Amino acid sequence: MPGELDHVAIFVTDMNRSIHLFRDLLGLKVDWHLPRIEEPKLAEVVGIPGMIAEIAYLSGRGRVAVELVRLIHPPPRQAPSGSDGSDRIGLSFVVDNLDTLHTRLCEEGWTPFTPAVRMRTPDGGRARMFCFSVEGGCVVELIEPESRSSET
């Protein structure tokens, strides 16, 4: 099965204003909102060392959701260029063949930030994931839910 676009991550500086835009003006529903997430594995996977963030996940009638990310640390514009995530857009794909994709991306010169990392998802599930950067500041996140994983 080919990868399925799951969500688009947008880095914002004002979470309340951004939630207002996507919820109240554009009609999306807030599925979950984490005012503070400080997870070293997540910081490593997304390539922002020491990241502490506020994250909101919104969905609408379509299949692709919007994830809003406000960096708490490092603060935008105070971190070295490119390391604070403020210039990033992220695309997240759900895939069935995470290990094969990791190998193939490495062979073709797309270097993932980390090996595949097992994480707990906000809904309490488990998944394996990794991220890599493409041109233009876009970060691609590949996620394989444990139910799809060949690992036990």
**Residue ranges per domain, the chain?**
4-145
Q: Which fold has domain 4-145?
A: 2,3-Dihydroxybiphenyl 1,2-Dioxygenase; domain 1 (3.10.180)
Q: Euclidean distance between the first and final Cα of the chain, in Å?
A: 20
How far is the C-alpha of 106 from the C-alpha of 104, rounded, in Å?
5
H or E segment at 44?
helix 40-46
pLDDT at residue number 79: 44
What count of residues does the chain have? 152
pLDDT in tens, 31-65: 999 999 999 999 999 888 899 999 999 998 888 99
Higher pLDDT, 5 or 134: 5
Quick one: tokens of 79?
């971190």
Q: Specify the pLDDT at position 89.
A: 81
Is residue 55 a contact partner of residue 12, using CB atoms and an 8 Å limit?
Answer: no
Q: Record the tokens describing residue 12, joined without a space.
A: 């914002």
Structure tokens at 143: 């996620």
Out of 1-15, 18-32, 126-140, give the one with best mean pLDDT. Answer: 18-32
